[in-house]
């Protein structure tokens, strides 16, 4: 696990990635995130960058992405020996109770709705950063 919290975020929407990056800049934590566009890129990043960057403290997945959606990515992460203990938060525009229940059953630690306003995005960035710190502390206690 890396020394500082590090969050890998997968979202296919360019505007949502921009807003998240800007929100993390606002809280002074833009260097603590890495943004990709889909689940395939999550695995590409993990498989090629983990030795240099360390294991992410947290992975945030948009539910609806092309190639490998959030639920499929979550399932593969939780089935993988190296990645199964990385906490995952699902991040989506709409919260359907069935999808939420399924993601939590598979192993997501939380399921949050994408904010409608930028100020809420800043609050979400703070929440994600605090979650990454919390997961890091939990890992250190093991």
Query: Is the C-alpha dihedral spanning 44, 46, 48, 53 positive or negative?
Result: positive
Q: How far apart are CA 136 and CA 128, in angstroms?
A: 12
Q: How far apart are CA 137 and CA 53, in angstroms?
A: 18
For 102, list phi and psi in degrees, rounded to 5.
Answer: -65, -45
Q: What is the pLDDT of residues 35-52, one digit of tens each?
A: 999 999 999 999 988 777
| pLDDT band with cut points at 50, 70 and 90 for residue 2 | very low
Token pair listed for 43: 């695995």
Residue 1: what pLDDT? 41
Q: What is the pLDDT of residues 82-135, one digit of tens each?
A: 999 999 999 998 778 899 999 999 999 999 999 999 999 999 999 999 999 887
Let me know how many helices (H) and strands (E) the chain has, helices first. 5, 5
Bridge partner residues of 33 (DSSP): 7
Do the bridges between strand 58-62 and strand 110-113 make them parallel or antiparallel, or are there none, so unpaired?
unpaired
């Amino acid at each position: 696990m890396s020394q500082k919290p590090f969050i890998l975020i997968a979202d296919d929407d360019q505007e949502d990635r921009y807003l998240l990056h800007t929100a993390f800049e606002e809280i002074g934590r833009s260097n603590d995130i890495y943004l990709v566009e889909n689940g395939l890129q999550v695995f590409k990043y993990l498989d090629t960058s983990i030795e240099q960057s360390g294991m992410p403290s947290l992975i945030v997945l948009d539910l609806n992405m092309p190639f490998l959606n959030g639920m499929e990515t979550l399932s593969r992460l939780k089935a993988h020996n190296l990645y199964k203990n990385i906490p995952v938060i699902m991040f989506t525009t709409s919260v359907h109770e069935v999808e939420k229940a399924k993601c939590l059953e598979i192993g997501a630690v939380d399921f949050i709705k994408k904010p409608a306003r930028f100020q809420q995005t800043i609050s979400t960035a703070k929440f994600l950063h605090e979650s990454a710190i919390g997961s890091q502390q939990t890992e250190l206690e093991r």
